[in-house]
């Protein structure tokens, strides 16, 4: 029922966007070109902001996914009360919902950790690319600048840099869509 409601709301958001794009007035030849461009830019940005807010509202409809309470509770417990050594939790299966479940858990527990990062794995990823992404997100989350040479670092240098940043810290990293599974 909630999913259907979210789908209808999203359809309305798309319709609003299309209608607003069609209603945009044609340029007035009497208007100075620069001023017209500035006005159109502002109108476009306001429209985009309104659409973004509507999308956030739709997303909030799906925040509490029915049937996930048990697995969410179990995963949260594993992460919060887990072992002291490194632990990998894989969420696998044929059915849909792995990403939703893993992100729901991540959103609820990431503030309990000193460091955290959510990495979406593309179909054509490289290990170096994932490590660079992880480095940048860890730095951004801690409001630090990444190393200047992060874009040219080799795999071993990236691993060493990340290891140093995470040393003696409690952290959680979500790799989403690793060949169809979420890994916390």
Mean pLDDT of 127-131: 89
CA–CA separation, 109 vs 170, rounded Å?
A: 12
- 37 pLDDT more than 80: no
- 165 pLDDT more than 60: yes
Predicted TM-score (pTM) of this structure? 0.60
Percentage above 90 pLDDT, the chain: 4
Question: 49: buried, middle or exposed (CB in 10 Å: 19+, 13-18, 0-12)?
Answer: exposed
Going by C-alpha positions, the residue among 56, 100, 51, 57 that lies closest to residue 75 is: 100
- How far CA 33 is from CA of 25, 42, 47, 75, 102, in Å, comes to 14, 14, 21, 57, 49
CA–CA separation, 10 vs 16, rounded Å?
A: 10
């Amino acid at each position: 029922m909630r999913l259907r409601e979210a789908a209808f709301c999203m359809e309305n958001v798309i319709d609003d966007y299309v209608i607003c794009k069609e209603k945009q007035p044609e340029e007035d030849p009497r208007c100075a070109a620069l001023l017209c461009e500035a006005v159109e830019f502002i109108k476009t940005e306001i429209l985009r902001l309104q659409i973004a807010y509507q999308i956030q509202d739709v997303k909030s409809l799906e925040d509490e996914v029915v049937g996930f309470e048990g697995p969410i509770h179990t995963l949260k417990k594993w992460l919060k009360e887990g072992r002291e050594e490194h632990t990998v939790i894989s969420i696998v299966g044929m059915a849909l919902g792995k990403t939703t479940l893993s992100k729901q858990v991540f959103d609820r527990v990431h503030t309990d950790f000193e460091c955290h990062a959510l990495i979406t794995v593309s179909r054509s990823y490289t290990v170096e690319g994932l490590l660079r992404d992880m480095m940048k997100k860890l730095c951004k989350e801690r409001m630090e600048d990444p190393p200047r040479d992060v874009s040219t670092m080799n795999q071993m240098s990236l691993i060493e840099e990340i290891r140093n940043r995470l040393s003696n810290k409690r952290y959680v990293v979500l790799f989403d869509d690793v060949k169809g599974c979420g890994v916390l």
